[in-house]
Amino acid sequence: MKKVYLFFFLALLPTIVVNGQSRKYVSQFNQLQSYFNPSLTGYEGSIVRGFVRNQWAGLDGAPKTYFLSAEFDPAEIRNVDDAAVLGKTAFGFNMVHDNYGPFVDNEFLLSYASRIQLGTATNLRLGGSVNYNTVRLDGNNLTTEMANDPTVNQYVNSFANMNIVDFNLGISVTHQNYYFSYGAQNVNQGRLSNGDVFMDKKPLISIFQTGFKQPINQNLSVYSHVMYRIQSDLPSNIEFNVKALLMDKFWLGIGHRVDYATNFQLGFLMSKVRFGYAYEIPAQRSFMISNPTHEFMASFFIFRKLENRSDIGNLIW
């Protein structure tokens, strides 16, 4: 029965790919801020992140996503002992590898962010990134319905490769207790491309994100995040998560992607390393495959150690 579900899911992919309708879902989206909005590059300082999302675990051919990023704030080299120091510029690199059905999607992003201080603890951030996207189509894995699509049927029993260069822009207002941000992905809508053209274009995506931190007492702080995405060829989507950081050592959280899925989160925080795990369950009304999704995340702070409450309060989101 699982193979039947996957068959119908893959049958929908021609529409997804021909119109560039793919959308990457992440339960722990607040951990990948610079990918969704380049202005948030360096928001937590110099840091390396790794991320794995195994969707519909146990199902052959189910989508898998791998993410690796590095963000660098040059000011931290000179002030590694001062957790309050923030540079005026930051640089970042993001790499995303996605497998879904007959497609292999790779994204490479180079980002830059600049900070303007508005107040004692409030900053305006502006950022941009260049996105190099490669999509590989394996015609040997096309379903019957996909093979009948006029755009991809020429690639049956063969391979096709498409390369796209695009741009992302972002603006955000940040504070140690909150942030508001807007990001635009695929600003050029995929007009710069070469290779085999099996996507008409990439849609412009608008992403609104906000987050709030509320210390309750010495041993408990609550963090909340909301992300709202608008995309012309897909329904708008909103998701949120709330987590409680306990004793500055570990957190428990819950999240929900409206009409799609609910997730439960667990994380641990050490001096220079942060680990996170999310278990996601599809909503019944989403008509998605019922297998759960697993997400694993690890972050490493390059220059600084999180040794006191001030460090953690300023950096951890």
Q: What is the pLDDT of residues 215-262, one digit of tens each?
A: 999 889 999 999 999 998 888 999 999 999 998 889 999 999 998 999
Yes or no: say if 34 and 273 are a contact pair by the CB < 8 Å rule.
no
CATH topology of domain 2-315: Porin (2.40.160)
pLDDT at 137: 83
Main-chain phi, psi angles of 206, to 5 degrees: -105, 130
Q: What is the pLDDT of residues 264-307, one digit of tens each?
A: 999 999 888 999 999 999 987 766 778 899 999 999 998 877 66
Mean pLDDT by 10 residues, the chain (317 residues): 42 41 83 93 91 86 90 79 64 93 90 92 94 86 62 72 94 92 94 82 92 91 96 90 92 94 94 93 78 94 70 56
Query: How many residues in the chain?
Result: 317
Which residues lie closer than 8 Å to 228 by C-beta, 6 or more apart?
207, 208, 209, 236, 237, 238
Which residues lie closer than 8 Å to 34 by C-beta, 6 or more apart?
40, 41, 42, 43, 69, 71, 92, 94, 111, 113
Which residues lie closer than 8 Å to 291 by C-beta, 6 or more apart?
2, 56, 57, 58, 59, 62
Tell me the C-alpha distance between 14 and 89, whole Å: 41
Domain residue ranges in the chain = 2-315
pTM recorded for the entire structure? 0.84
Write out the two tokens for 192. 């710069």
Q: Bridge partners of 54?
A: 64, 294
